[in-house]
Structure 1
């Protein structure tokens, strides 16, 4: 993990004990992205959250896995107070997102972030020089 850590209390963003919408997941993801952009890692605190949907999980870990890879997620996102249901869904999302990330890296293709968003990234092993 990085030196500075930002703790995100999911229950402060999600009004119920179930995080069910992609929209609220997107809110959490935006806070996470802001932390990462500042060189911080994050702790997601699920105190008071009984369950999440796959869509919510995709927003908070899946998109980062597809863009940056599973090692980025392991090194920069930690969980607190997550029950087994929440962990199971997040692990499933990471697993399928890892496959997409690896496939896109192997095929030098665009990374599919979300069905409605594509991040075009041409991977090149050559170093460009300015002249």
Structure 2
């Protein structure tokens, strides 16, 4: 995932990423970060990895790009909050965010060279 100028690896598919906020009932929010009424990212193929130009072969890799979204929307994703909890300053997290910085050497097995099924092809250099 391209987000705020960095690449991250999520622990689950984009559609299943849940908000990490703690609710008033002291449980984890059940809402998804990918919200129906919010702008979405787009899948694209790219050949460059920031800081690792020679690590991978020149084959294209698939990334979910959020870089075109407004900064505040990218921050919401980075905090892993649903739109409701993004509006609450200093909301407590029930669990840590599910992201980790993407490292092509450590995460080579997660590199996809094709877009997910049903996704339009968007090309933009990283």
Scaled by the length of structure 1, the TM-score of the pair is 0.28
Scaled by the length of structure 2, the TM-score of the pair is 0.29
The answer to which structure has the higher helix fraction is 1
Higher relative contact order (CA 8 A, sep 6+): 2
